[in-house]
């Protein structure tokens, strides 16, 4: 059974702080790793899809890296802003490559 773990479960930072969270996934039969941002009362929205070992993606102040050999991905937020407050989900494709298996998420709260 594919198990995706995220840490920490929650995080509280001050405006302007940089932060990062971890997603761990089985390295065998890896297809792709997805990151989603889920704001309260909204739907999850796709941030990044990563497939290659060593991949690095960036969108504004948010970036992500991927290590498929050791089975982890980091999401970084530089200079956190209150609008970055959300739950960040990572997901790995199941072994058949047909559906995403999600971690429980890291909930980020940014205070101004």
Beta strands in 25-99 (DSSP E): 33-38, 45-50, 56-59, 62-67, 72-77, 86-93
- Number of Cβ within 10 Å of residue 17's Cβ equals 14
**3-class SS at 62?**
strand
Beta bridge partners of 77: 19, 62
Q: Which is nearer to other proteins, 13 or 49 (CB)?
A: 49
Q: Which stretch binds other proteins (CB under 8 A): 13-21, 38-46, 54-62, 70-78?
A: 38-46
Contact pattern for other proteins over residues 40 through 79, marking x by CB under 8 A: --xxxxx--x-x----------------------------
Binding status of residue 32 toward other proteins by CB under 8 A: yes
| Least gap, CB of 19 to other proteins (angstroms) | 20
Conformation bin of residue 29: beta by default, left when phi > 0, alpha when psi is -120 to 50: left
Query: Where on the chain is the footprint of other proteins (CB under 8 A)?
Result: 31-32, 34, 36, 42-46, 49, 51, 89, 91, 93-94, 96-105
């Amino acid at each position: 059974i594919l198990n995706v773990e995220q840490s920490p479960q929650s995080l509280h930072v001050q405006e302007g702080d940089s932060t990062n969270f971890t997603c761990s996934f089985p390295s065998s039969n890896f297809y792709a790793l997805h990151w989603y941002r889920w704001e309260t009362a909204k739907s999850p929205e796709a941030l990044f899809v990563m497939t290659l070992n060593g991949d690095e993606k960036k969108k504004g102040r948010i970036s992500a890296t991927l290590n498929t050999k050791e089975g982890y991905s980091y999401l970084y937020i530089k200079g956190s802003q209150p609008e970055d407050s959300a739950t960040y989900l990572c997901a790995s494709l199941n072994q058949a490559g047909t559906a995403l298996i999600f971690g429980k998420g890291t909930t980020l709260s940014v205070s101004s």
